[in-house]
Structure 1
Amino acid sequence: MQTQKDEIKERIIAVARQEFIANGVKNTSMQRIASLSGIAVGNIYHYFKSKDHLFRCVIHPLLKAFETYRQNANQSSYATLDTFRYDSYLESMKELVTSLVVPYRNELKLLLNEAANTSLHHTIDKMIEQQSIDGMNYIKRMKQQYPCINDQISPHFLRVLCNLWKEVIKEIVMHDNLTPKEQENLILDYVKFDVGGWKYMLNIQDTLNLESED
């Protein structure tokens, strides 16, 4: 019995995802989702309290994947100067695109374009804020490991950088017509810009023997 309920719930989520992608959250009714799922509209509320609740369930895999990405990035082993090597940073960005952007492109589009007037309205802002907090904590860990680096970085500027990171991801997500080469060039340009800027701001190139791979 529980297995059947779980199957129905997953079917509803799958149908809702397709409808949200095709028509938008606002223009998708619970009645249509129920009909396409093969259940009575009254029964859908036994599984989901509201359309907002259902929307959250559709987006949940993306948020879970983002949290996994954050946890991996915040491992203690991550506090290394290798992060500021061009090839290392490039590989980490490619991994981000492969593990988060590609499999969850549609969910990211929904979060960027369809979250207004839902409980997920400020989710992107919260993700950016969390990224900036992670960044400040990372700089503190780096300072402990490499005392000679400069750690006097404005948290406000760090939020600006995190928003730039978001815009790079958004550019990839929102432009389906980007060729693989154009996507690669965008990532390459961002990595060059970011690595060069961070090495200068943290004073790595002047205080530590870190060979550039540019």
Structure 2
Amino acid sequence: MAVCASAQMMRAEELEKYAVEKYGDKWTEAAENLGTEVSLDKNNSLTYVQVIECGEQTKEQLYVALNYWFTATFNDADAVIQLNDKESGVIIGKGFISGIASHTGGMNSYVISIHPIIRVDIKDGKIRVTYTVQNYDVNKYVGGGIMGAIGGTQATKSVEMWAIEKCFPFQKKDEYKAKKSSSKALVMTHAYSNVIMDKIEEAAKNGLVGNENNDW
């Protein structure tokens, strides 16, 4: 299962390996550490902003490269380009990352997905990337935990939307009583922001496939 709209990105198992290498495999501890480094914005969303210097490239050149990247990446019903304004130099895409985190607890199990909003503002010589996740989209399987499996309980699916500010570590007593699931969701969402920033920087500086500026 891919963790984005396009196979160009990173598969779920690769993202988890990347997250473990950077933050360790103790999800609650890693989330608590990240909680001291990141904060929610005024809308209680998880937002990352990075300005990337792009040398002598013009706004036009950067727009062409990034429009190509967005078009290739946000290309299905779940991941779409929401705004593409060449004159203003703004491209906004809404992605869908299915199953960015999953966890089986004692009574219930959870599969968490996210819809990150990725905005790029373009000027001559630089871009600003804003990556925002407003909430976690959760498939909760009541009775689908370890105890349910032992007892032969039939799990019942419940679709929920978790407010990030009510999840651990932003709220020490996780309101959804799923501290480990919330922890892994934060770590994986944070790790994915790193991947997105790197991919956009690569596309801006070197193009999508790396040969767009070849003399042919």
> When the two structures are superposed, what TM-score results if normalisation uses the length of structure 1?
0.30
Between Structure 1 and Structure 2, whose CA radius of gyration is higher?
1
> When the two structures are superposed, what TM-score results if normalisation uses the length of structure 2?
0.30
